[in-house]
């Protein structure tokens, strides 16, 4: 009998340990005094030459991964990191396969945020980079006090947060599996922290956080989203199309999940990325969440500078560009240029002429790396859309040309 009770207790205890614990709210509460100065955000957008995002523009976010390891198992592989980037690009663009699990009543508000993520290809000095930094640390674990963000305390210093999303991968204390700074936080702390075995979909990962949704959830916070229940009983996240719910949901509830706070028979939107359900049960952002996220990139928004970030631009690497460390983002591309996004791309590749570059009338072609012509079209406006559905995943070359000049850029289809 004692043996049976022991195993029952062990099963219950294991279930508790397997529940999601985001440290973002605790972090906000403990760090308010350092996140704000005189009640004003420390991180401010540089509004010089700023613009609003184009309608449905794919906004590219260069990512720097700081891997801090005390043991070999914590030094996660490149494959594990790349698998996480693929999840982010799927989740933030509503091309994740499990969207089929979104209940029909919520599918009508499920949204693609049109945000893409790449491992940084260019550092702040214009040098080529993999976007991955590996560093041994003597610290066996970190708390949510941001020590992992400073080399002086066993971590690794951040890259310019107006140009890069910094993600620190490390061993977190207790059961916390991730936390994020707010969009208007202190510049040397800005970014996301993830438990090393809750990152990606392959390699050293633990169930039920093995689908990459911890990073999706925490980057949602980095982009201004609150927990869907507003961190209050029957609370609100301030977004109209996410129903109020009594509290967080764990594990994998069955639809509909009703509570005393449910506004109707549809119940909780527990499959939202900003709830606490298991990775396999999360599958959507809402239109309201999308609108809030994209508002951060507006002219006066705290993430506006990413519209001018060059970190995903492999063509600058190829040209050997050299940029001083104090160069502001808005000064990087003042000459006429071509912008392609997203990169990596999945269904479509957008091509824009920027800073006076005249794309209209030019021929746009896609080649394999062996030089085989695969797609060609003539630009009829100063922007063009390239349908990539016929291409297999891989590396390709895009050529823009007229009778006088041409430009070649690389992109990845995933």
Specify whether 188 is located in the same domain as 110. yes
Q: Is 141 exposed, middle or buried (0-12, 13-18, 19+ CB in 10 A)?
A: middle
pLDDT digits (tens, 9 = 90+) for 135-163: 999 999 999 999 999 999 999 999 999 99
Q: Is 324 contained in some domain?
A: no
C-alpha to C-alpha distance for 243 and 30, rounded to whole angstroms: 28
CA angle, residues 71, 72, 73, in degrees to nearest 5: 95
Q: Which two tokens stand for residue 342?
A: 């997203």
Domain boundary among 292, 322, 353: 292
Phi, psi of 351 (to 5 degrees): -125, 125
Q: Which two tokens stand for residue 174?
A: 């207790």
Specify whether 270 is located in the same domain as 388. no
Q: Is 330 contained in some domain?
A: no
Catalytic residue among 218, 318, 335, 354: 218
Domain boundary among 292, 318, 346: 292
Specify whether 276 is located in the same domain as 370. no
What local confidence, expressed as pLDDT, does residue 345 receive? 81
Place of tokens 């129903």: 243
Q: Which of 56-60, 275-279, 392-396, 405-409 has the highest mean predicted lDDT (pLDDT)?
A: 275-279
Specify whether 186 is located in the same domain as 259. yes
36 pLDDT exceeds 70?
A: no
- The per-residue DSSP string of 322-348 comes to ---TT--GGGTT-S-EEEEE-SSBSSE
CATH number at residue 341: 2.60.40.1930
408 strand-pairing partners: 399
Q: Is 310 contained in some domain?
A: no
Q: Of all helices (H) and strands (E), which one includes residue 15?
A: helix 2-17
Residue that wins the pLDDT comparison between 410 and 164: 164
pLDDT digits (tens, 9 = 90+) for 313-355: 765 554 444 433 333 333 334 467 788 877 778 788 888 887 7
Specify whether 116 is located in the same domain as 47. yes
Specify whether 253 is located in the same domain as 339. no
Write the Ramachandran bin of 220: left for phi over 0, alpha for psi from -120 to 50, otherwise beta: alpha
Specify whether 116 is located in the same domain as 260. yes
Give the mean pLDDT of the chain. 85
- The per-residue DSSP string of 273-291 comes to TTS---GGG--B-BHHHHH
Specify whether 283 is located in the same domain as 346. no
End-to-end distance of the chain based on CA atoms, in angstroms? 54
Number of domains forming the structure of the chain: 2
Of the candidates 165, 284, 166, 303, which has an alpha carbon nearest to the alpha carbon of residue 224?
A: 303
- Number of Cβ within a 10 Å radius of residue 197: 20
Section 116-131 average pLDDT: 88
CA distance to 139, 161, 220, 395, per residue, from 64 (Å): 21, 10, 17, 21
CATH number at residue 240: 3.40.390.10
Q: Is 318 contained in some domain?
A: no
- Number of Cβ within a 10 Å radius of residue 23: 22
372 strand-pairing partners: none
Q: Is 297 contained in some domain?
A: no
Specify whether 171 is located in the same domain as 271. yes
pLDDT digits (tens, 9 = 90+) for 186-236: 899 999 999 999 999 999 999 999 999 999 999 999 999 999 999 999 999
Q: Is 127 contained in some domain?
A: yes
Give the confidence band of 243 by pLDDT, cuts at 50, 70, 90.
very high
Phi, psi of 204 (to 5 degrees): -90, 85
CB-based contact 26:227 (threshold 8 Å): no
Specify whether 280 is located in the same domain as 372. no
Q: Of all helices (H) and strands (E), which one includes residue 395?
A: strand 394-401
Specify whether 92 is located in the same domain as 27. yes
What local confidence, expressed as pLDDT, does residue 220 receive? 98
- Give the SS3 label for residue 16: helix
110 pLDDT exceeds 80?
A: yes
Place of tokens 């523009």: 57
- 218 counts as catalytic: yes
What local confidence, expressed as pLDDT, does residue 33 receive? 58
Q: Is 287 contained in some domain?
A: yes
Domain boundary among 292, 315, 347: 292
Specify whether 37 is located in the same domain as 136. yes
What local confidence, expressed as pLDDT, does residue 34 receive? 59
DSSP state, 158?
P
Q: Is 313 contained in some domain?
A: no
pTM for the whole structure? 0.75
15 pLDDT exceeds 50?
A: no
Percent of the chain with pLDDT over 70: 86
CA angle, residues 69, 71, 77, in degrees to nearest 5: 60
What is the β-pairing status of strands 394-401 and 363-368? antiparallel
Q: Which domain holds residue 282?
A: 21-292
96 pLDDT exceeds 50?
A: yes
Q: What is the CA radius of gyration of the chain?
A: 22
């Amino acid at each position: 009998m004692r043996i049976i009770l022991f195993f029952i207790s062990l099963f219950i205890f294991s279930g508790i340990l397997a529940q999601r614990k985001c440290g973002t709210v605790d972090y906000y509460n403990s760090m308010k005094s350092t996140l704000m100065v005189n009640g004003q955000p420390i991180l401010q957008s540089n509004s010089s030459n700023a613009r609003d995002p184009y309608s449905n523009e794919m906004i590219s976010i260069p990512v720097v991964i700081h891997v801090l390891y005390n043991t070999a198992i914590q030094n996660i592989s490149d494959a594990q990191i790349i698998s996480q980037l693929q999840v982010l690009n799927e989740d933030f663009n509503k091309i994740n396969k499990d969207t089929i699990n979104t209940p029909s009543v919520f599918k009508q508000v499920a949204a693609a945020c049109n945000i893409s993520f790449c491992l940084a290809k260019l550092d702040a000095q214009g040098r080529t980079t993999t976007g991955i930094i590996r560093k041994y640390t003597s610290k066996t674990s970190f708390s949510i006090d941001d020590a992992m963000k400073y080399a002086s305390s066993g971590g690794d210093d951040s890259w310019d947060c107006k140009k890069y999303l910094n993600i620190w991968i490390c061993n977190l204390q207790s059961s916390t599996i991730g936390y994020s700074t707010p969009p208007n936080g202190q510049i040397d702390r800005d970014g996301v922290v993830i438990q090393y075995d809750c990152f990606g979909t392959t390699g050293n990962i633990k169930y039920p956080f093995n689908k990459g949704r911890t990073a999706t959830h925490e980057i949602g916070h980095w982009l201004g989203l609150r927990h869907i229940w507003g961190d209050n009983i029957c609370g609100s996240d301030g977004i109209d199309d996410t129903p109020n719910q009594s509290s967080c949901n764990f594990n994998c509830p069955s639809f509909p999940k009703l509570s005393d706070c449910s506004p109707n028979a549809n119940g909780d939107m527990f499959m939202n990325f900003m709830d606490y359900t298991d990775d396999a049960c999360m599958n959507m952002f809402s239109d309201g969440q999308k609108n809030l996220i994209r508002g951060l990139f507006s002219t006066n928004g705290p993430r506006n500078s990413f519209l001018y970030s060059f970190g995903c631009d492999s063509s600058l690497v190829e040209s050997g560009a050299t940029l001083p460390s104090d160069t502001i983002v808005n000064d990087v591309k003042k000459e006429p240029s071509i912008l392609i996004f997203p990169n990596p791309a999945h269904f479509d590749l957008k091509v824009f002429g920027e800073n006076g570059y005249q794309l209209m009338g030019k021929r746009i072609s896609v080649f394999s790396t062996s030089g085989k012509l695969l797609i060609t079209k003539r630009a009829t406006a100063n922007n063009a859309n390239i349908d990539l559905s016929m291409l297999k995943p891989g590396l390709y070359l895009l050529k823009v040309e007229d009778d006088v000049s041409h430009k070649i850029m690389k992109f990845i289809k995933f």
